Amino acid sequence: MKKTLLSVGVILAMATSVYAGDETVTIPLEDYRAIMNRLDALQQRVETLESSPQKTLPATEVKYDKVTKDIDHIYDSLDALETKSIKNKINFGAELRVRVDGYSGKNFNTINMTNFQNNLLTGMAPSQAMGAAMTHHDKINDPNNWTNRFRINMQAQITDSLQFHGRLAMYKNWGDSDDGTSSDLLNDFNRSHRPGSSNLWVDRAYVDWVPEGSPVPVAITIGRHPSTEGPPFELRENRLRQSTYPALLFDGENDGVVVTFGLDRYTGLKESGWRFAYGKVYHSDDDNNTGSPFPFLDDEEAADSTMAATFFETEIPGMENSLVVFSYAKIWDLPFYFSGPKLYETGMANTDVGDMEIWGVHLQASDIASSGLDLFLSYGGNKSKANGNAPMGLFGLLSSDGQSDHSGYSIYTGLRYTLPLESLNMPRVGFEYNQGSQYWFSMTMGTPDIFNKLATRGNVYDAYYIQPVNKHLFFRAGYMYVDYDYTGSGQHIGAPRESNATLENYYFLMDVRF
């Protein structure tokens, strides 16, 4: 408005002022008056505007200013959060399991290894020494065995192509103070409150690396692997798959490297991959020889046991939430003892006893046709190749003399059903059965049940009930009956003998995961 007024005034001045220039402009009186009236009117409007109180900003403008400031604050907060998030390199989770077990065993023998060694030192023949160290049990009960298992799970997305996974674990009997590291002043009551050892049990620590730019999809998994509690154990564990390998064949903490080729784009099969694995089952060093200056170096006794394996797995075509795995593995130079030369006081060195092949097929389908029913069927086979070594004439590979080769097999099947009872948080019931032959052998020393049921040379019946409370907490009650047909289940040394031993295990556990 002021600009308009000023412009008119300037024009008028230019038009009427004799002093503005050398020329004089003459306009008609009427026009002059009209201009002056217009000028007066404009002047009045300016004065009115200037005298009226200042208007406040519209409400929307105020709100806009506030939102702008809020966004600035949010950006500041996000900066802080993002910085913190980037610095938080590992995501942590935890698991706690408290379990009470009752055991009842019948018709089995135990060998006191200290007595066995002492008997050998007195000059007894090995078979005599073993017989003298052996105790037969008609029946033995332990109705009240409590354990705690605690795990810290770790995961990190290091880059788009590199992931880290880890797990630290503790697993112990309640009040367990009578192991070899305890004393009157250092035991289960104060082990975390007194200087002890630097031990920390690392269950898993590995990276998945998917190299970028590879012409074929390939992943390298290296470290201490996810090789325990594999399919179908996740059903009874009330969780998702936990291992690369089917539980019937391999279930143990394992260091190695796995190269996986993704085949989805070539085969059209979902989740299909071909894996090649290499690992060490036993490294023969000298660290249980307390007199050795280099306990971590090779003790030149048994050769290292190495394992190479290949696996093909895929989702079963047309069946969601399913899995089929074909497996083959070979282990070279299995040792007499995995734990080293226990009997070194006798002067007997550890040695390797031969090679073993293991193979199998595993089929599994979960929530079939949205029915809540999960089924699995697993088959495993093994074949030994003894190298002729037979420590003490008793402990050849799946034989006494180490002169013969043997084959074994096992089947493992079962189901789990989710009861459609929302009021009870969808509880689950399951039943499993496995049967192993006389010479069945599997690398399953790390199973969640401490009896290594899948290595059984005989029949195992296992039933359980899972009661979820929420997504983090569940209870499980179960009963397992093992009917051994042959001795030495889970052992690769010695000849399996006929057995009438049985084992009953009933338990109740609480599991919390978050």
Partner 1 sequence: MNKRVIWAGGVLFLIVGFSTMVNASNLNIFLEKCGSCHKEGAEAPPVEPADKAGLVWEKYFKRDRHPGNLHSSISAVELADVLTFLKNHAADSDHPVAAVIPK
CB of 121 to partner 1, least distance (A): 47
CA 504 centroid distance within chain: 29
| Closer residue to partner 1, CB minimum distance, 27 or 240 | 240
CB of 258 to partner 1, least distance (A): 5
Amino acid at 446: G
Site of interaction with partner 1 (CB under 8 A)? 163, 165, 208, 210, 217-219, 221, 225-226, 230, 234, 239-244, 258, 260-262, 264-265, 271-273, 275, 313, 320, 368-373, 417-420, 471, 513
| Closer residue to partner 1, CB minimum distance, 50 or 212 | 212
- Residues 428, 417: contact at Cβ < 8 Å? yes
CB of 111 to partner 1, least distance (A): 37
CB of 277 to partner 1, least distance (A): 8
CB of 72 to partner 1, least distance (A): 21
| Closer residue to partner 1, CB minimum distance, 15 or 162 | 162
| Closer residue to partner 1, CB minimum distance, 98 or 419 | 419
Q: Two tokens at 392? A: 């003490």
CA-based radius of gyration for the chain: 39
The burial class, CB within 10 Å (0-12 / 13-18 / 19+), for 476 is buried
**10: Cβ–Cβ under 8 A, 6 or more apart, which residues?**
none
Closest CA to 402 of 414, 389, 413: 389
φ/ψ (deg, to 5) at 432 = -135, 150
369: phi > 0 → left, psi -120 to 50 → alpha, else beta; which? left
| Closer residue to partner 1, CB minimum distance, 264 or 357 | 264
CB of 509 to partner 1, least distance (A): 18
The burial class, CB within 10 Å (0-12 / 13-18 / 19+), for 198 is exposed
Assess whether the previous peptide bond of 211 is cis (omega < 30° from 0).
no
Q: Which residues pair with 314 in a beta bridge?
A: 324
Q: How far apart are CA 133 and CA 115, in angstroms?
A: 5
Q: Using the structure block, give the residue that is written with the tokens 């610095």.
A: 87
CB of 240 to partner 1, least distance (A): 4
What DSSP line would sit under 150-162, residue for residue?
EEEEEEEEEETTE
Q: Two tokens at 65? A: 């200013």
Closest CA to 331 of 397, 416, 241, 260: 397
| Closer residue to partner 1, CB minimum distance, 234 or 432 | 234
| Closer residue to partner 1, CB minimum distance, 44 or 371 | 371
Three-state DSSP state, 31: helix
CB of 417 to partner 1, least distance (A): 7
CB of 458 to partner 1, least distance (A): 22
CB of 457 to partner 1, least distance (A): 26
Q: Which helix (H) or strand (E) holds 37?
A: helix 29-51
| Closer residue to partner 1, CB minimum distance, 36 or 469 | 469
CB of 326 to partner 1, least distance (A): 15
| Closer residue to partner 1, CB minimum distance, 226 or 360 | 226
Beta-strand pair 473-484/373-386: unpaired
The Cα angle at residue 253 between residues 177 and 494, in degrees rounded to 5? 85
Exposure of 190 in the CB half-sphere (CA atoms within 13 A): 9
| Closer residue to partner 1, CB minimum distance, 288 or 321 | 321
Burial call 96-128: b when 16+ CB within 10 Å, e when fewer: ebebebebebeebeeeeeeebbbbbeeebebee
| Closer residue to partner 1, CB minimum distance, 308 or 368 | 368
Tell me how many helices (H) and strands (E) the chain has.
7, 16
CB of 110 to partner 1, least distance (A): 36
Ranges of H-type helices in 88-144: 113-121, 126-133
| Closer residue to partner 1, CB minimum distance, 230 or 396 | 230
CB of 365 to partner 1, least distance (A): 13
| Closer residue to partner 1, CB minimum distance, 153 or 284 | 153
